[in-house]
Every structure is written in structure tokens, then in C-alpha cells.
């Protein structure tokens, strides 16, 4: 029997509310955006896209109300030119603000506040719809810069959200690796190893992350080879593996109280309308 590939999961957490958005991909051109209430750990499917959302060029506003995303469906003769950047009401995809793009260079963006955003423009964006309540900043708001592709949005988002970049270095396959750390407790750190390489493992894209837990008191490192995404959420760690979302707590003996929050593998494409 052919091997079943789990759904790919990436999550955006709001910094000033309990809202989050899960971007679930699989099969390759079926992408769902799912709302997650982190207080209740309840989930609700927003909308599906027959196409690709570049999750590392996306962001959730601090209040959790708006999602900025970069998507591609390859319909190059359409009004959005086959790829576009949009801002929607999370967890939906219907655009309030819409920029047609026409290629996959640059695209996406980041929120500066709940009402102001930065567009990863480069060149080529054509504004087609504009929600006047959302303001586009005309200046680059951060000191760090990593080019116009996924790291240029993703690495800035990580650091804005409290991750410390420890170093970047070439890898053995001609790509690059960037290592980030985030404090979990007095002695534990969550480590994110972000890869950018064309020589990626089977089942991974050219951008993928690995994770470790490091105890600064004992110098113990716990590798988490199946974790696709991970973040600190208050007093717990949340992570994705095998198309599922988990939560757990770190204590003196390591990771415990592990709970499966949701299995996203059984979801199938549906045509859903946004309620606005």
C-alpha cells in the first residue's frame, strides 16, 4: 500500500488574545485555514483554498482578528494574476484588502499593530481592494532584513514574537540554517532550527524546521525529530507532528502532561463561504 503522508501544519498565534490560526496543507494543493481558541482548545475550519498558501510569509494580527497571507493557485490569466497577497478576517480567506501579484517573488507581510501592516512588496503588487481600517506602513519597521523570500518575513516574525536568533550558517548541502531559541521556564529553552535548502528531505519543502529542548542547568538536549512546528504558549509548549497538534508542560524530568489537541488528517476539501 502507498505510504500516507500526514497533513502539514503551521500555526500563527495572536500575541494579544487567545486566538490562533492553523494552516493545514495536504494533499499538496489543498489548504485549509482553521481557527483555534487557545483558551478552550476548540477548532473551527474557516475556508479552503485549492492552491498553496506560503505559511512563512503569513501573519496574524496581535488581536487575532486579521490574517495576512500570500497564496498561489497558478491561474495566471485571472484577475489576481495567479498569486496574491490578501488580508482577511481570521480564520477566513475572503480578502478585505487584496493585492494581485503575478509571480512568487516576495509577497505576504507582517502586522506592525492590530491596524497597521507591512507589505513584503519588492515589486509587482497591484492593489485591487483596500479596507480603509487597515493601514499600510510605507517604511520598513524592523532592523533585521533577510531578503524578499520566506526568511525575510518568517525570521522577522520569529524575532518579533520573542525568539532570539543565535546564529546563521551554511549547511553541508549548500543551503543555510538559522538557529532560534525561546525561553520556556527557568532552565528549559525551546530551540528552532530553520533550514533553507534545495536539498531537502523527502516530504519536506525547501524551508523546514527542526526542534530541540535544551536544559541550561544540566546541558541536556532533547531532540524532537517529528515536530514540524512548535511554540511557547503561556506555560505550555504546543507543537505539530504527523498532522496533529499537541500540548505539554516541561518540568524537572522533561516534557510531560502531553495531550493531543486535534488531528487534522481526516479533513477534506470543502467549498465554504466566509460569513462576511
Phi, psi of 90 (to 5 degrees): -70, 140
pLDDT tens-digit profile of 4-15? 789 999 999 999
CB contact at 8 A, 70 and 107: yes
CA angle 140, 232, 95 (to 5 degrees): 50
The pLDDT score that the predictor gives to residue 212 is: 97
pLDDT for position 71: 98
Q: What HEC string does 135-185 produce?
A: EECCCCCCCCCCCCCHHHHHHHHHHHCCCEEEEEEECCCCCEEEEEEEECC
* Eight-class DSSP state of 227: -
Set of cell numbers at residue 174: 549548500
| Span 169-189, average pLDDT | 90
* Mean pLDDT in residue range 22-37: 96
The string of pLDDT tens digits covering residues 261-273 is: 999 999 999 999 9
Instruction: Tell me: pLDDT of 175 over 90.
Output: no
Q: What is the pLDDT of residues 208-264, one digit of tens each?
A: 999 999 999 999 999 999 999 999 999 999 999 999 999 999 988 889 999 999 999
- Ranges of each domain in the chain: 8-263
pLDDT bracket for residue 205 (50, 70, 90): confident
Q: Per-residue pLDDT tens for 106-165?
A: 999 999 999 999 999 988 899 999 998 999 998 999 999 999 999 999 999 999 999 999
Between the CA of residue 3 and those of 6, 25, 203, 225, what are the distances in Å? 9, 17, 11, 19
User: What's the pLDDT score for residue 171?
Assistant: 82
Taking the model in full, what pTM does it have? Answer: 0.95
Q: What HEC string does 5-49 produce?
A: CCCEEEEEECCCCCEEEEEEECCCCEEEEEEEECCCCEEEEEEEE
Query: Is 3's pLDDT higher than 60?
Result: no
Is pLDDT at 201 greater than 90 in this prediction? no
- For residue 234, is it left (φ>0), alpha (ψ between -120 and 50) or beta? left
Q: What is the mean pLDDT of the chain?
A: 94
- Distance from chain centroid for Cα 161: 12
Take residue 190 and report the three cell numbers written for it. 525551546
Tell me the C-alpha distance between 146 and 260, whole Å.
35
Q: How far apart are CA 120 and CA 140, in angstroms?
A: 9
How far apart, in Å, are the Cα atoms of 244 and each of 52, 56, 93, 126, 181?
A: 20, 19, 22, 37, 23
Spatial separation of the C-alpha atoms in residues 182 and 200, rounded to whole Å: 25
Is the pLDDT reported for residue 60 higher than 80?
yes
* pLDDT for the residue numbered 1: 43
Find the mean pLDDT for residues 29-35. Answer: 97
Q: What is the pLDDT of residue 153?
A: 97
Amino acid at each position: 500500500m502507498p505510504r500516507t503522508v500526514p497533513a502539514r501544519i503551521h500555526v500563527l498565534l495572536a500575541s494579544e488574545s487567545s486566538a490562533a490560526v492553523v494552516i493545514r496543507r495536504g494533499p499538496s494543493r489543498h489548504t485549509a485555514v482553521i481557527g483555534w481558541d487557545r483558551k478552550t482548545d476548540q477548532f473551527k475550519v474557516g475556508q479552503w483554498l485549492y492552491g498553496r498558501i506560503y505559511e512563512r510569509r503569513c501573519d496574524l494580527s496581535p488581536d487575532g482578528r486579521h490574517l495576512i497571507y500570500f497564496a498561489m493557485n497558478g491561474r495566471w490569466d485571472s484577475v489576481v494574476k495567479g498569486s496574491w497577497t490578501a488580508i482577511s478576517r481570521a480564520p477566513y480567506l475572503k480578502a478585505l484588502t487584496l493585492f494581485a501579484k503575478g509571480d512568487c517573488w516576495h509577497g505576504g507581510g507582517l502586522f506592525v499593530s492590530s491596524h497597521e501592516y507591512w507589505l513584503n512588496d519588492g515589486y509587482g503588487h497591484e492593489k485591487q481592494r483596500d479596507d480603509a481600517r487597515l493601514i499600510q506602513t510605507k517604511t520598513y519597521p524592523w532592523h533585521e532584513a533577510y531578503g524578499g523570500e520566506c526568511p525575510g518575513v518568517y525570521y522577522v516574525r520569529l524575532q518579533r514574537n520573542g525568539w532570539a536568533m543565535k546564529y546563521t550558517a551554511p549547511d553541508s548541502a549548500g543551503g543555510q540554517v538559522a538557529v532560534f531559541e525561546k525561553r520556556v521556564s527557568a532552565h528549559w529553552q525551546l530551540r528552532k532550527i530553520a533550514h533553507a535548502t534545495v536539498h531537502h528531505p523527502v516530504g519536506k519543502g525547501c524551508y523546514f524546521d527542526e526542534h530541540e529542548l535544551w536544559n541550561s542547568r544540566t546541558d541536556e538536549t532533547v531532540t524532537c525529530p517529528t515536530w514540524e512546528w512548535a511554540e511557547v504558549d503561556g506555560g505550555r509548549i504546543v507543537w505539530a507532528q504527523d498532522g496533529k497538534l499537541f500540548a505539554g508542560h516541561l518540568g524537572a524530568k522533561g516534557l510531560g502532561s502531553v495531550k493531543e489537541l486535534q488531528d487534522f488528517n481526516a479533513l477534506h476539501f470543502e467549498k465554504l463561504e466566509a460569513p462576511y
